[in-house]
A and B are shown apart, each in its own frame.
Chain A
Amino acid sequence: MSVVTTLIPPQAPPEAPPKPFTAGRFFGNIFMGVWLALTVGVFLMIVGGWDPEKFTRYGPSYLSGLGVTLLLVGLSVVLGGLISLPLAFARMSKNPVFSWLAYGYVYFFRGTPLLTQLFLVYYGLGSFSAELKAWGLWWFFRDAWNCALLTFTLNTAAYQAEILRGAIESVPRGQHEGAAALGLPKKIAFFKVVLPQALIVALRPYGNEIILMIKGSAIVAIVTVFDLMGETRRAFSRTFDYQAYLWAALLYLLMVELLRNLWAWLELRLTRHLKR
């Protein structure tokens, strides 16, 4: 009978085989190198062209431009949300006149570029200045800011109506029937049963719509509203300094990423009862 008298001394594990240098790794390293070089290049550009005078001169105007952008987007999203309610119901109504009118509205505003709509309102309605003056509306359409607000509101109303309609229609029929079986009136069933479920579905598209509006709002710079993009264009046309655009890019990216993360957190928070 053999007895173990000595144990094999502990040994180091065998060496891991060297990581193969694949094509993916090769390209990954190259692309990371490109991003790194770009970052360093932009950083050097900002440091090299740093001019405190320019900063104190244009910095505050960038902030005011940021305020204009946020105000424009916030107001138009809220007002558009209000308009989108009757629009969505008209789209879902059984009356063909209402539903076709709403469909035409939505098709027009979703099928044409925002820039064209803005020109149509600002320059197009501006050419009817005599009639507008007679109706006492000229003070509104004279200002580019008001025209931009009107266009954005109408535009986002069309998109939000589609979001709302899709969300309400995504609630299963059984929910309506369940509410009816409990004896709830139609109105209460809609507000207490259907809408809360629909809004959770609509949450993510709403976030995307706000982000699209923030990005789309840059075009108001073309019709002389000094939002963030407008201030950037003004600074660039005065200094011919390419940095002007880089600062604007940074601010826009910051806004969009903050909103995106906020929305992800919101969704996680609001759907925690659905988690399994």
Chain B
Amino acid sequence: MSGFFAAIVEAVSAFLGIIDPLCGPVGIFNLFAGDTLLACGNAGWGDEIAFGFLVTASLAIATLPVGLVIGFFIALAKQSEEKSLRLSANIYTTLFRGLPELLTLFIVYYGLQILVQNLAAALGYGGAVEINAFFAGMIALGVVFSAYCSEVLLSAFKAIPRGQYEAGYALGLHHGRTMRLIVLPQLIRVALPGLGNLWMALLKDTALVSVIGLPDILRQTGVAARVTKEAFQFYAIACLLFLVLAFLSSLVFSAIEGWAKRSEVAR
């Protein structure tokens, strides 16, 4: 059975290797930079940078659902009738919108390390504990993203008239189903431009995680720059790759926006 899974994994990775836009057989680095510093394989830095590209993209994509879900519940808490819930949600957003992302990252990274270490010591395990940089980055960026996201969603909630909820209740829908079937689809349409901006900010903030050692675009190009002494070329490539990511996500967002507005009358 494990051989079967290994075969599947191998097939998938072989397929990904073929369509890999940077280092595959028809990859940009292979076609245009075959015999330069950017060559793939052992000759150049192409494959390392391609891996960094993948890490950056996957960190941003993994953070997005975490931030969205937390942000949604924070937005709900902010418009709740319960005073303590509102207050605690406001403390959360004030805190994480006011702190620099880099500082949040350090606080989460070292704080988690200390916390886990103390817990492990209490359980009788004395060794050193290392927190995964990807995980720490995901938490720190997710927390910051959710704080901003809650503001965007809150203003989107305010744009939905009270009558929409009442109509849902009049149809006999439960509170949760009213939210899911009636409010959420309209909420997405209103909040999408703001969420697009937040996604761009998140994409740029992932560069900070290179500071705690995650091998993302910036870290990989930085290592290449230090080894080859061609700093300008490699950091320019890092900038270009981030621009490519920004461009791709703007394409995706305009597609989603078109999908969300498909029911509106064309003006």
What is the interface of chain A, defined by CB distance below 8 A to chain B?
22, 24-25, 27-29, 31-32, 34-35, 107-108, 111-117, 119-120, 123-128, 214-219, 221-222, 229, 232-233, 236, 242, 245-246, 248-249, 252-253, 256-257, 260
Given contacts A112-B239, A113-B218, is CB(A245)–CB(B110) below 8 Å?
yes
Which residues from A are CB-within-8-Å of B229? 127
Q: How far apart sit A219 and B238, CA to CA, in the bound complex (Å)?
A: 17
B111 touches A242 (CB 8 A): yes
Smallest Cβ distance from A157 to chain B, in angstroms? 17
A257 touches B98 (CB 8 A): yes
What is the interface of chain B, defined by CB distance below 8 A to chain A?
77, 80-89, 91, 94-95, 97-103, 106-107, 110-111, 114, 200, 204-208, 210-211, 218, 222, 225, 229-232, 235-236, 238-239, 242-243, 246-247
A31 touches B84 (CB 8 A): yes
The residue in chain A whose Cβ has the minimal distance to the Cβ of B243 is A111
The binding surface of chain B is classed by DSSP as: helix
Smallest Cβ distance from B26 to chain A, in angstroms? 25
B99 touches A29 (CB 8 A): no
Q: How far apart sit A257 and B98, CA to CA, in the bound complex (Å)?
A: 7
Contact of A245 among B77, B91, B103, B239 (CB under 8 A): B103
The binding surface of chain A is classed by DSSP as: helix
A113 touches B242 (CB 8 A): yes
Smallest Cβ distance from B173 to chain A, in angstroms? 18
The residue in chain A whose Cβ has the minimal distance to the Cβ of B232 is A124
8 contacts across the A-B interface (CB closer than 8 A)? A25-B82, A28-B88, A107-B243, A111-B200, A112-B242, A119-B238, A218-B102, A219-B102
B218 touches A119 (CB 8 A): yes
Which residues from B are CB-within-8-Å of A35? 88, 91
A127 touches B208 (CB 8 A): no
Given contacts A113-B218, A252-B103, is CB(A24)–CB(B243) below 8 Å?
no
